[in-house]
A and B are shown apart, each in its own frame.
Chain A
């Protein structure tokens, strides 16, 4: 076959494995020159030998060394197989696919990043990028909601980000345990403590659809227009390149025109039952 077959994965080596929580693992992959050819917000199709293939957002660049990181929650057969990978293991990679967060548009603006659950993973490369060129942005706020204290991802990163004087970081949990001394409540409750300038602010949301809907509604109520709010959508995907049909949401082929969308482009669809 002469044409490039977009369904054939490249082979990547697992360079490092870091356990984040009981069911979440971050793996660092190296597939040569193409490893870091991604934009924040894009995803790869990761193939666990014989088990299956799933879309996983890039969760950042490693602090040291090359490669690309993915943070995976074990919820099904394929993600469980990916989470069982060891250093030196092999995984299939296709991509990167999809649209990116509006990092360049955010320059010169205040940026509010709101994450729910595993949704912090696709935001991590944006936060890394912002920190790397911090002088280009205004006030930057990161708000993160996890289900329980045990589900908090990237604890080392969060500690580092909270230690900076140029980032405002808020963390909340839906359900606290006896050890928790932090904020309790859904992530939108953190917004009330944030000083927002509706004329200067760009918002980036990632998490369960219901969380993004409520967060967007709160931001809109605070005067931020829909065109300044960005979301990342999750849909079933088999090909990643707009050929298999699974990821449709109304007229959107989410893998190709998304997963990152400006809210005014998809906001109406988010409110439609079973679209």
Chain B
């Protein structure tokens, strides 16, 4: 980690464009936030022109709206529905191909070559925290996920500290933002307004410094550094949500029979949206498939969700047939058993599960409800859902 006050640099918009080009020249495939499908999603980035200039996302429980900001800020929004998760743990991936041989047996084709390295431009602090969480899950034990590793190992990360939290953000509670502390090569803070458009850059790694050297830049002024710090402090004071994390693990382990679960089950559709948008949810399923002749077979791995009936199916039935038990499993895993498995929380406070829940179930409100004795919960946080 560098000392941001000591050797912070400054780039203008053209400099950021050149930084993306420099990464591209070095063999990285730059990816960043782009406007697509009425939202802001992660996609391939050719340059600054692809970034969502002047756009923001208004978010509340069950609601996300892409709207104009009225200025030209490139990072004036929090997080969209997807995260860099899809780049390292693809939603669907072929794991191997097998072919019948002449003797009636079969053999596996050689593994596909590893994909080239990715550069993330503008990863949010909560997203970087989520990458670290997935690293521990998929790379941190004896058996690692070779496909995740192949995508993750060389990835170059340019963080974008947050200046504009969304209505469902609670990274301050999760202690993951609004500024990133580690897990990046370079980090930027956007300063814009009054004709100014500057990115204050922190250099965290040697290769980050090397890439930056290839790009025209200057030292950041003391005033710029101070204003960059104020951007983050301001964001921290405008969180859309909060989550009291004290004693959360014990709370969830202690309330397995709480009446709240039935109340949630009455609303939850079991649609799995929360798990699809969650940047730490790592569950996958494999399907073994064949072509129509039966001569070639392949294994496909896809994201799966603990909200489906099939997820826990064993001969005789599903382990968690009720929706309430599935929600209980999900939230207990995120906030309690993740600590037992991986020594940390599985929630980074990005708020996606709240925004993208079609019936506006709010993880922060559910915790408040579970902390109560079972009397009707406060519903103020779900007011954003419009019929």
Contact = CB atoms under 8 A, between A and B. Distances in A.
B290 A236 contact: no
A274 B283 contact: no
15 contacts: A1-B113, A1-B147, A3-B146, A7-B95, A50-B290, A51-B288, A236-B312, A238-B284, A242-B143, A246-B283, A246-B285, A248-B306, A248-B329, A251-B340, A253-B341
Nearest to A81: B288
Contact of B286 (A88, A238, A253): A238
A245 B98 contact: no
A245 B283 contact: yes
A166 interface: no
B210 interface: no
Interface stretch (B232-240, B314-322, B347-355): B314-322
Nearest to B287: A52
Contacts of B100: 49
A248 B338 CA distance: 11
A243 B282 contact: yes
| Most A CB within 10 A of own CB, among B256, B319, B320 | B319
B138 interface: yes
A47 interface: yes
A273 B126 CA distance: 34
A250 interface: yes
A241 interface: yes
A243 to B, nearest CB: 5
B105 interface: yes
Nearest to A92: B98
Contacts of B371: none
A243 B104 contact: no
B205 to A, nearest CB: 22
Interface residues of A, number: 46
Contacts of A11: 105-108
B297 A50 contact: yes
Interface in B269-327: 282-290, 294, 297, 299, 301, 304, 306, 311-316, 319-322, 325
B314 A235 contact: yes
Given A11-B106, A243-B284, A248-B333, 11 more contacts: A7-B301, A9-B108, A49-B290, A49-B297, A50-B98, A235-B314, A241-B141, A241-B142, A246-B304, A251-B340, A256-B141
Nearest to A118: B315
Nearest to B339: A251
Given A1-B111, A49-B297, A274-B321, A6 B284 contact: no
Interface in A185-243: 208, 234-236, 238-239, 241-243
B150 A3 contact: yes
A241 B142 CA distance: 8
A118 B217 CA distance: 69
A75 interface: yes
Given A272-B256, A273-B325, A242 B141 contact: yes
A88 B141 contact: no
| Most B CB within 10 A of own CB, among A2, A239, A246, A273 | A246
B114 interface: yes
Interface residues of B, number: 59
B17 to A, nearest CB: 33
Contact of B105 (A3, A78, A90, A250): A90
Contacts of A243: 137-138, 143, 145, 282, 284
Interface of A: 1-9, 11, 13, 47, 49-53, 75-76, 78, 88-90, 92, 208, 234-236, 238-239, 241-246, 248-251, 253, 256, 272-275
A90 B106 contact: yes
Given A5-B111, A238-B284, A245-B283, A251 B337 contact: yes
| Most A CB within 10 A of own CB, among B96, B107, B137 | B96
A251 B145 CA distance: 20
B18 interface: no
B149 interface: yes
Contacts of B95: 5, 7-8
B144 interface: yes
Contact of A89 (B105, B285, B314, B341): B105
B298 to A, nearest CB: 9
B288 A52 contact: yes
B107 A236 contact: no
Contacts of B321: 274
B96 to A, nearest CB: 6
Nearest to B153: A3
Contacts of B138: 243
A178 B141 CA distance: 54
Given A5-B147, A7-B95, A274 B319 contact: yes
Contact of B104 (A7, A88, A273): A88
Nearest to A51: B288
B146 A274 contact: no
Given A1-B150, A8-B95, A51-B288, A245 B111 contact: no
A236 B108 contact: no
A246 B316 CA distance: 16
Contact of B311 (A6, A8, A246, A272): A246
Contacts of A9: 108
Contacts of A76: 315
B304 to A, nearest CB: 8
Given A11-B105, A274-B322, A245 B143 contact: no
Nearest to A52: B288
A75 B142 CA distance: 32
| Most B CB within 10 A of own CB, among A3, A6, A92, A234 | A3
